[in-house]
């Protein structure tokens, strides 16, 4: 069963979910590489948690106009507006000389708490069809429709195209903002574009891994890729590959074992890739470095013995 799911032969919907999760993972890994370079991991976490009240309010608005309230495009639009407000709040608080981590913590907890309250109210109201909204916390692909999977895949593809077009300016602004300004680039504008791409990945990942775990899919594959290369474009591609593999294999495992939640499985696979990289990467892996040091000591001892024999 797992092999069939892995080879996209476990049914049309399962194949769509696997492909969508794979493309989402690739986009998250690539974007996450530049998020790491700009040290914006905590900002992306705040954006993810700030989506929750937007999801709830969008549901209420669509239900008030006679809909069932669970249209994915509408829910993502509400999440986008809410996350944008969260990002704006972080920026405004930071400009008041409040430490960025403090501002992020305040915004993250406030928006998340408001979202939980709104979802609780929705569950007690007789409007729309609220069943399944809690899936945005940890992800839920069981009820994913063809249109939902295509929306995720299409959004991921557009994000990747934009990232490919801006990869060099983003890397330059991350490594040397002063030189970027001399080249006519605006680091602040590029940072905003990067945050918009991060927001796109966060929104697309809500249905697959949920708002709590999407940051792990953004950061973990990119962090694992950093052990394998120093060059930003290569790190982005390796991170994208790790994310894509984690997404595809995780969705296949979830399809073959229905009791396994898709999002947490994907994140655990990404962490396994990180752990393997941290231990066995050619130059930076902990075990690899320990073996190299051991070989170097042996070589040094052999050279010392040879020198002492020659002197004798």
Closest CA to 204 of 29, 24, 50, 74: 24
Does some domain include residue 312? no
Does some domain include residue 49? yes
- Per-residue pLDDT, 275: 95
Q: How confident is the model at residue 304 (pLDDT cuts 50, 70, 90)?
A: low
- Per-residue pLDDT, 309: 61
Q: Rounded to an integer, what distance in angstroms lies between the CA atom of residue 135 and that of residue 132?
A: 5
- Per-residue pLDDT, 299: 74
Q: How confident is the model at residue 15 (pLDDT cuts 50, 70, 90)?
A: confident
Q: How many domains does one find in the chain?
A: 1
> Is residue 307's pLDDT more than 70?
no
Tokens representing 165 are 């077009």
- Per-residue pLDDT, 312: 54
User: Is 302 or 200 the better-scoring residue by pLDDT?
Assistant: 200
The average pLDDT across 179-204 equals: 87
Tokens representing 202 are 């966060």
Residue ranges of the alpha helices (H) in the chain?
A: 2-6, 12-37, 41-64, 72-95, 100-123, 135-138, 146-175, 177-182, 187-205, 210-226, 232-256, 262-280, 286-311
Tens digits of residue pLDDT in 35-50:
988 888 888 888 888 9
Q: How confident is the model at residue 311 (pLDDT cuts 50, 70, 90)?
A: low
- Mean residue pLDDT of the chain comes to 84
Whole-prediction pTM: 0.85
Does some domain include residue 229? yes
Q: Rounded to an integer, what distance in angstroms lies between the CA atom of residue 126 and that of residue 263?
A: 29
CB 107, CB 176: distance < 8 Å = no
**Domain assignment of residue 25, given as a range:** 2-281
Tens digits of residue pLDDT in 134-160:
777 777 766 667 777 778 778 888 888
Does some domain include residue 309? no
**By percentage, how much of the chain surpasses pLDDT 90?**
22
Does some domain include residue 57? yes
The average pLDDT across 232-260 equals: 88
Does some domain include residue 301? no
Does some domain include residue 296? no
Give the CATH number, domain containing residue 43.
1.10.3470.10
- Per-residue pLDDT, 296: 78
Tens digits of residue pLDDT in 81-121:
999 999 889 888 888 888 888 888 888 899 999 999 998 88
Does some domain include residue 164? yes
């Amino acid at each position: 069963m797992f092999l069939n799911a892995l080879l996209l032969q476990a049914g049309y919907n399962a194949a769509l979910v696997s492909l969508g999760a794979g493309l989402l993972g690739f986009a998250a890994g690539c974007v996450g590489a530049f998020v790491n370079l700009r040290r914006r991991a905590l900002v992306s976490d705040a954006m993810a948690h700030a989506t929750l009240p937007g999801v709830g309010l969008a549901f209420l608005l669509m239900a008030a106009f006679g809909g069932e309230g669970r249209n994915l495009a509408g829910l993502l639009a509400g999440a986008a507006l809410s996350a944008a407000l969260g990002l704006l709040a972080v920026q405004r608080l930071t400009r008041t000389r409040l430490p960025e981590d403090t501002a992020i913590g305040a915004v993250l907890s406030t928006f998340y708490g408001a979202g939980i309250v709104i979802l609780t109210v929705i569950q007690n109201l007789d409007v729309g069809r609220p069943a399944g909204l809690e899936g945005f916390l940890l992800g839920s692909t069981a009820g994913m429709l063809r249109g939902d999977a295509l929306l995720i895949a299409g959004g991921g593809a557009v994000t990747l195209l934009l990232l490919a077009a801006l990869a060099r300016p983003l890397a330059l602004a991350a490594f040397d903002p002063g030189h970027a300004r001399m080249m006519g680039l605006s680091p602040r504008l590029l940072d905003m574009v990067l945050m918009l791409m991060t927001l796109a990945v966060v929104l697309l990942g809500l249905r697959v891994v949920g708002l709590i775990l999407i940051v792990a899919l953004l950061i973990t594959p990119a962090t694992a890729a950093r052990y394998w290369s120093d060059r930003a474009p290569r790190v982005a591609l390796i991170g994208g590959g790790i994310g894509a593999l984690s997404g595809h294999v995780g969705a296949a495992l979830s399809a073959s074992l229905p009791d396994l939640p898709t999002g947490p499985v994907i994140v655990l696979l990404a962490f396994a890739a990180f752990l393997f990289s941290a231990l066995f990467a050619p130059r930076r892996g902990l075990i690899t470095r320990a073996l190299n040091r051991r070989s170097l000591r042996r070589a040094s001892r052999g050279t010392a013995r040879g020198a002492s024999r020659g002197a004798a």
